[in-house]
Amino acid sequence: MSRNKLLSDVGYAALKSKDKEYRIADIQGLYMKVQTSGKKSWQLRLKNNEGKWTWVGLGSYPDVSVKTARSQTLRYQSGEIQIVTRAERIKQAQHDESELFEYLMRDWIDTKKNTWEPTTFKKEVQSIEKHLLPVFGKRKYKDITSGEWLKFFQTKQRVEKIFNRIEKLISYCCNAYDLALFKDQANYNPIRGIGKFLDKGESESMKFVEIYDLPELLHKIRNYSSEEISIGLELLILMFPRPGELRQAKWEQFNFEERVWIRPGSIMKRGIEHGIPLSSQTLALLNTLRAISKRESEYLFPARDSVNKPISNLTFNAALNRLGYYGKQNPHGFRHVASTQLNDHYSDREQVIESALAHLKTGVKGAYDKGAHLRERYEIMQHWADYIDQICGPREFSKVHVS
């Protein structure tokens, strides 16, 4: 069609549909397509960057006017606008997706599949999906500034009061950015060092009684209706592990001859294997627990509905609440009680006590290694158990329960 025969807006508006769709040529390479439904749209015919002829849609008519369609055509033909092939669009979409914070977090989460217990893995993924992804998931992680992260975590701390959870989320984000650094996908970590500027609040999971209130609490624990849970709570006092570690403890992890509980990295906060020396009082509790167990299970504390999974993470806390210690003592708080008393007694062995609490810095092999004060910790753990007996009195065991 020659230039003097080109249709105007009025001419294109007057085009009617036919039994079959058809095209009307405009300037070189530009066509108006009219469908049987009467819908009209602009199409451009030209070669892509692979030298193959292709159609490029420029939009529907009259949303895109004749003038605009012609202008766009000239821009494509001059090379001002590049044609993107389907394969290139897919590749670009994949690249864009890989730059999103959600992709970064899921890439890091994947590295934990073989190190976290399934229940832990599920719980932490749900936490990430609840707290982080709704806010930052669709953002490019390189564009999220340190200031934005600081404001986000400060706000969650002050509004939701979830200090332990925030600590974990910061650790996960920091590790995810580190993974990007190792993959040459980031230039710096915007989370690094953020903990210095966050509030130091008291978490609900760190409620604890003073040492002089412990005898009354332990007396109530020893008389709790469930002997298994009673033993579990006393083990939390004697060994002061993190509650989740005892909840997921398996019999195979206990070496009764060497008197040590070797906790695998999969249940540890830092993913590092750690050993707890067992006092004679702890051994007596474990033997009693094994003797009274009515069900065969690999777990010390199997769930009520299945021997193949551990008790709920709310069980120990619920027991303390029933004993009247709601808001006064949480399972995690026993770590503080032990730490305070041991640091007071062993003022010159801070590093040993830190190791006993599994407060390990990144890179340390683990507390079952000789360099992690294991031998000294046998003395400390026995001293702590003896001290509990001294102020609270020893637990009375039935002879049938003690091997």
Instruction: Please choose, from the candidates 346, 113, 339, 137, the residue with its C-alpha nearest in 3D space to the C-alpha of residue 239.
Output: 339
pLDDT tens sequence for the chain (403 residues): 444 578 888 889 999 999 999 999 999 999 999 999 999 999 999 887 677 888 888 889 999 999 999 998 998 888 788 776 666 666 655 666 788 999 999 999 999 888 787 878 888 999 999 999 999 999 999 999 999 999 999 998 888 878 878 888 999 999 999 999 999 988 999 998 898 888 775 555 568 889 999 999 999 999 999 999 999 999 999 999 999 999 999 999 999 999 999 988 777 766 778 889 999 999 999 999 999 998 899 999 999 989 999 999 899 999 999 999 988 999 999 998 998 888 888 877 777 778 777 765 443 343 344 336 778 889 999 999 999 999 999 998 765 444 4
DSSP state of 100: B
Question: Is the residue at 89 inside a domain?
Answer: no
Please state the pTM of the whole predicted model. Answer: 0.53
Asked if 264 and 375 sit in the same domain, the reply is yes
Asked if 239 and 138 sit in the same domain, the reply is no
Of 59, 83, 107, which one is at a domain's C-terminal end? 83
Question: Is the residue at 90 inside a domain?
Answer: no
Q: Is the bond into 264 cis (omega within 30 degrees of 0)? A: no
Token pair belonging to 185 = 């996908």
Of 201, 234, 266, which one is at a domain's C-terminal end? 201
Beta partners for residue 277, in sequence order? 260
Asked if 111 and 56 sit in the same domain, the reply is no
Of 21, 51, 83, which one is at a domain's C-terminal end? 83
Domain count, the chain: 3
Asked if 312 and 166 sit in the same domain, the reply is no
List the CATH number of the domain containing 231: 1.10.443.10
Helix-strand-coil split of the chain, %, nearest 5: 55, 10, 35
Asked if 366 and 305 sit in the same domain, the reply is yes
Identity (one letter) of the amino acid at 107? D
Question: Is the residue at 91 inside a domain?
Answer: no
Asked if 314 and 191 sit in the same domain, the reply is no
Asked if 72 and 133 sit in the same domain, the reply is no
Asked if 15 and 136 sit in the same domain, the reply is no
Token pair belonging to 82 = 């590049």
Cα dist. 120→109, 125, 126, 313 in Å?
Answer: 12, 8, 10, 11
Residue pLDDT, tens place only, 130-140: 999 999 999 99
Asked if 211 and 335 sit in the same domain, the reply is yes
Identity (one letter) of the amino acid at 277? P
Residue 354 CB partners (closer than 8 Å, separation 6+): none
Identity (one letter) of the amino acid at 302? P
Instruction: Please choose, from the candidates 323, 239, 329, the residue with its C-alpha nearest in 3D space to the C-alpha of residue 275.
Output: 239
Question: Is the residue at 15 inside a domain?
Answer: yes
Question: Is the residue at 92 inside a domain?
Answer: no
Asked if 194 and 217 sit in the same domain, the reply is no
Asked if 194 and 59 sit in the same domain, the reply is no
Edge-to-edge strand ranges of the sheet holding 30-34: 22-25, 30-34, 40-47, 53-61
Question: Is the residue at 74 inside a domain?
Answer: yes
Structural domain that includes position 75: 3-83
Asked if 256 and 311 sit in the same domain, the reply is yes
Question: Is the residue at 351 inside a domain?
Answer: yes
Question: Is the residue at 78 inside a domain?
Answer: yes
Cβ pair 364, 372 in contact under 8 A: yes
Cβ count within 10 A of residue 169 = 21
